[in-house]
């Protein structure tokens, strides 16, 4: 059956008769419509999406808007602790809420490779459905394209997110002030090492799990105790070191870290040591780093620790006048070293 051209049939051919994605599933014709109605709508359906218009028309509260978009090309599609589906939801939710915004709506665009097993697509959609529910966001519009075998690798997803920034919240990498405290929400390097060790088939590292998670609930809890958060980011590609370098450069201040305070799971540290990788540069997908005025630090820290995704939150350093634009670290041995920007991409196709 899969080798026959569906356009040759005059009777409706149910989509389930295909075990893999065909070029015709992206044709905009009958098979495209069936793919949407039988695969996408049952997972994501809501009043707006179900209208199947060319755009989503949604209610939007007054105020400032946060808008972000991200493409997900992670390899492998399924990895310990997550998959491309929950990553595509959580990554975009996180980029919206790092502004302090409440994420409201998502758009999702899929590029499918001809021959992709239907079962794989279904598994990814189930995971996206679950992640969107957990984060409390709706997918209100989307797109599906199919490309010839070899023109993409299995499945790529682009998600766009829209949120509302609460009044009085002004979060930016350029807002760091001398004396501010730097708070990290938990352990670093989990996601990147989960991808790398699963790709390399390193059995000793089988306990390494991605930390992929939506952080909007944690952010809401932080803003409840203080709206004075100066800067906030999720240290994804390039890891904690890159995010802090971006902060230091944008605000032209120095950052001094205390290495002993930065939490790394023992299995992640072990994998990093074997592979010669510095966890400071490895991607996270469910962590945030916030820069807050010293007087608010304890309050924000306590709020974070009372949330499941911030239980291991810790102050890792402070903003200083020395060495503007640079990140420095007191090492476990008491020496100081500069924590540079990475030169190139350490791990391709990590998200």
Binding positions for Mg ion, rule: CB under 5 A: 95, 234
| Least gap, CB of 216 to Mg ion (angstroms) | 13
Q: Closest distance between Mg ion and the C-beta of residue 88, in Å? A: 13
Q: Among the residues of 73-177, which ranges form H helices?
A: 84-97, 118-135
Q: Closest CB to Mg ion among 86 and 113? A: 86
Q: Which is nearer to Mg ion, 255 or 283 (CB)?
A: 283
181 neighbors 315 (Cβ within 8 angstroms): yes
What phi, psi does 291 have (nearest 5°)? -115, 120
Kindly tell me which of 125 and 131 has the beta carbon lying closer to Mg ion: 131
Residue 68 Cβ, how far from Mg ion at the closest point, in Å? 8
Shortest distance, position 266 Cβ to Mg ion, whole Å: 27
CA 239: distance to chain centroid? 12
Instruction: Give the C-alpha distances (Å, rounded to integers) separating 58 from 41, 134, 147.
Output: 18, 21, 31
Instruction: Give the integer Cα–Cα distance in Å for 284 and 276.
Output: 18
287 in Cβ contact with 185 (< 8 Å): yes
Smallest gap, in angstroms, from Cβ of residue 179 to Mg ion? 25
Whole-number Å distance between alpha carbons of 117 and 138: 26
Residue number, 150 or 348, with CB nearest to Mg ion: 348
Q: How far is CA 79 from the centre of its chain?
A: 14
Instruction: Give whichever of 15 and 195 is closer to Mg ion, judged by the CB atom.
Output: 195
Q: Of 291, 287, 203, 272, give the one whose Cα is nearest residue 237.
A: 287
In the complex, minimum distance from the CB of residue 236 to Mg ion, in angstroms, rounded to a whole number: 5
Which C-beta is closer to Mg ion: that of 21 or that of 232?
232
d(CA 174, CA 349): 29
How many beta carbons lie within 10 A of that of residue 236, not counting itself? Answer: 22
Minimum CB separation from Mg ion for residue 186, in Å?
16
Tokens of 260: 């002993």
| Closest approach of Mg ion to the CB of residue 234, in Å | 5
Residue 25 vs 237, nearer CB to Mg ion = 237
Q: Which of 151, 108, 167, 99 is nearest to 132 (CA)?
A: 108
| Residue 128 near residue 108, CB atoms below 8 Å | yes
26 or 286: CB nearest Mg ion: 286
């Amino acid at each position: 059956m899969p080798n026959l051209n569906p356009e040759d049939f005059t009777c409706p051919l149910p989509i389930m008769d295909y075990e893999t994605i065909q070029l015709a599933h992206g044709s905009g014709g009958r098979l495209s419509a069936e793919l949407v109605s039988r695969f996408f709508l049952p997972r994501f359906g809501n009043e707006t999406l179900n209208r199947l218009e060319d755009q989503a028309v949604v209610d939007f509260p007054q105020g400032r808007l946060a808008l972000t978009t991200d493409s997900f090309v992670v390899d492998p599609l399924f990895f310990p602790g997550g998959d491309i589906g929950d990553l595509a939801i959580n990554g975009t939710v996180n980029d919206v809420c790092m502004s302090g915004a409440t994420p409201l709506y998502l758009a999702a665009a899929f590029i499918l490779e001809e021959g992709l097993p239907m079962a794989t697509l279904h598994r990814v959609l189930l995971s996206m459905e679950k992640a969107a529910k957990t984060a409390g966001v709706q997918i209100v519009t989307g797109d599906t394209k199919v490309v010839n075998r070899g023109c993409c690798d299995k499945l790529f997803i682009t998600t766009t997110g829209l949120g509302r920034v609460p009044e009085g919240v002004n979060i930016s990498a350029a807002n760091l002030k001398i004396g501010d405290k730097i708070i990290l929400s938990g352990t670093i390097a989990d996601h990147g090492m989960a991808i790398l060790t699963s790709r390399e088939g390193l059995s000793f590292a089988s306990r390494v799990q991605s930390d992929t998670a939506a952080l909007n609930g944690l952010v809401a809890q932080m803003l409840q105790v203080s709206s004075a958060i100066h800067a906030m980011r999720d240290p994804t590609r390039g890891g904690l070191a890159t995010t802090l370098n971006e902060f230091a450069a944008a605000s032209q201040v120095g950052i001094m870290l205390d290495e002993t305070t930065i939490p790394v799971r023992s299995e992640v540290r072990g994998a990093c040591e074997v592979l010669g990788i510095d966890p400071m540069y490895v991607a996270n997908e469910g962590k945030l780093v916030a820069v807050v005025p010293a007087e608010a630090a304890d309050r924000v820290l306590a709020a974070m620790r009372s949330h499941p995704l911030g239980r291991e939150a810790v102050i890792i350093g402070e903003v200083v006048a020395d060495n503007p634009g640079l990140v420095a670290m007191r090492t476990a041995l008491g020496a100081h070293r500069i924590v540079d920007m990475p030169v190139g991409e350490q791990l391709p196709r990590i998200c």
